[in-house]
């Protein structure tokens, strides 16, 4: 993980445009290394199907309705 931390530190030094460019290059490297990277596993596909159903049924909270500074005090009912 040392290499990952070093890369992250170096990326954070770059201006945003160069960070975005580096991210796109990384995506291309990962997809070249593992073409199935962008595909979902069966478990991920099942979780995504459940999430879509929850959104469709109004079982989620809108971002603006969440008090991000006080999550422990939020009434989830």
- Tell me the C-alpha distance between 73 and 42, whole Å: 35
Give the pLDDT confidence of 11-51 residue by residue, as tens digits: 999 999 999 999 999 989 988 988 877 788 899 999 999 99
> What does the pLDDT look like over 54-77, one tens digit per residue?
999 989 888 888 888 888 887 766
Q: Are 34 and 27 within 8 A, CB to CB?
A: no
Q: How far apart are CA 12 and CA 7, in angstroms?
A: 9
What are the structural domain ranges in the chain? 2-37, 42-67
């Amino acid at each position: 993980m040392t290499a990952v931390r070093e890369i992250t530190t170096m990326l954070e030094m770059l201006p945003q445009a160069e960070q975005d460019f580096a991210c796109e290059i990384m995506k291309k490297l990962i997809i070249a290394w593992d073409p199935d990277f962008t595909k979902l596993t069966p478990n991920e596909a099942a979780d995504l199907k459940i999430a879509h159903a929850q959104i469709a049924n109004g079982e989620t909270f809108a971002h603006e309705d969440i008090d991000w500074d006080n999550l422990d005090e939020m009434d989830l009912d």
